[in-house]
Amino acid sequence: MSAIQELIKEIKNLRPIPQIANQIISIVENPNASLSDVANIIIYDPMTTANILRTCNSAYFALSRKVESVHEAVTLIGLEQIVDLVLLKSGAENLKKEQAGYGLDEGDLWRYSVASALIARELSEKKNLASTHMVFTAALLKDIGKVILNRFVADAFPKIRDLVQKEGFSFREAEKKVIGVDHSELGGLVASNWKFSQKMVFIIQNHHLDDPQAREDLETCIVYLSDIICMMMGIGGGADGLAYRFHDEVVTKLGFSERDIQETIAGFGENMAKVEDLIASIG
Q: Give 6's contacts (C-beta < 8 A, 6+ positions apart).
A: none
Q: What is the pLDDT of residues 216-271, one digit of tens each?
A: 999 999 999 999 898 888 887 676 665 677 787 888 888 988 888 889 888 887 77
Q: What is the pLDDT of residues 270-282, one digit of tens each?
A: 777 778 888 887 7
CA 147 to chain centre: 13
Give CA–CA dist 129/189, Å, rounded: 26
Q: What is the average pLDDT across 154-175?
A: 88
CA 257 to chain centre: 24
- Do 179 and 152 touch, CB atoms closer than 8 A? yes
* Predicted local confidence at residue 83, as pLDDT: 84
Give CA–CA dist 133/195, Å, rounded: 16
Tell me the residue ranges of DSSP E strands in the chain. Answer: none
- Do 180 and 2 touch, CB atoms closer than 8 A? yes
Please give the full DSSP string across 116-150, using - where no structure is assigned: HHHHHHHHHHHTT-TTHHHHHHHHHHTTHHHHHHH
Assess whether pLDDT exceeds 80 at residue 35: no
- Do 147 and 102 touch, CB atoms closer than 8 A? no
Q: Which is it for the CA torsion 64, 65, 70, 71, positive or negative?
A: negative
Give CA–CA dist 253/265, Å, rounded: 19
Give CA–CA dist 153/171, Å, rounded: 10
Assess whether pLDDT exceeds 70 at residue 283: no
- Mean pLDDT taken over the chain: 86
Give SS3 for 259.
Answer: helix
Give CA–CA dist 111/27, Å, rounded: 26
Read off the pLDDT band of 214 (50, 70, 90). Answer: very high
